[in-house]
Amino acid sequence: MKDQMGDFVEECLHSSGLRAESSVEFRCPACETRLDAEGVERWVRMAEAARDEDYSLVEGDEFSRLVFEERQREVYRRRKVLYELRNIPHSVSARPEMILVSYDAAGDAYKCRIFYKEPRPAWGPERIDVRAEMDTILALRTHPDPNIRLVSSKVEEFHDFRQRSDGQDGYSPQRRVFYKNEI
């Protein structure tokens, strides 16, 4: 990913915080700078380094103490942004527009692909592979992500359909698409 940690990032304090664009990229709404997780951590470390430079000045006059306290508040603010980005709840995600379930005969598994309306939600899964065993499929029903639980129910539905139609006319469907109105 292209790193945009130039002088402009150092000038922008990202005072309105950072927004998750994807699971690995964050954007500042003020300056439109995009940072990866390491870039956000580097941004926090820059504030810590600035604070540590002024630590020896605390013994000095009142102005030096104020500068140090202001830099300490900035470190706290940036750490708060970092912790909020790390703790984005996975369950807060948009409903899928479409789910494609394909059967892989070689691996005896279902390969699921989840399609979202743009923009794709942060931390939202796009692909899930599930063994073609009912126990494995049902185990996904307790997953914390509601979209994975939804995929589990659709895989179960397709698995049951394949089991029922397996002996009829020698035809067993290899894929099924579930559209938004079926989800």
Share of the chain above pLDDT 70, in %: 76
Q: At CA 111, angle to CA 101 and CA 117, rounded to 5?
A: 60
Residue 1 pLDDT exceeds 50: no
Q: Which of 74-78, 79-83, 101-105, 142-146 has the lowest mean pLDDT?
A: 142-146
Distance CA 183, CA 163 (A): 21
3-state secondary structure of 10: helix
Model confidence band, residue 5 (pLDDT cutoffs 50, 70, 90): very low
Would you place residue 172 in the very low, low, confident or very high pLDDT band (cuts 50, 70, 90)? confident
How much is the pLDDT for 119?
A: 67
CA atoms within 13 Å, Cβ hemisphere of 8 = 9
Predicted local confidence at residue 133, as pLDDT: 92
Regarding pTM above 0.85, the answer is no
The residue ranges of every structural domain in the chain are 7-86, 98-182
Strand 127-131 and strand 109-115: pairing? antiparallel
Q: What is the mean pLDDT of residues 107-134?
A: 84
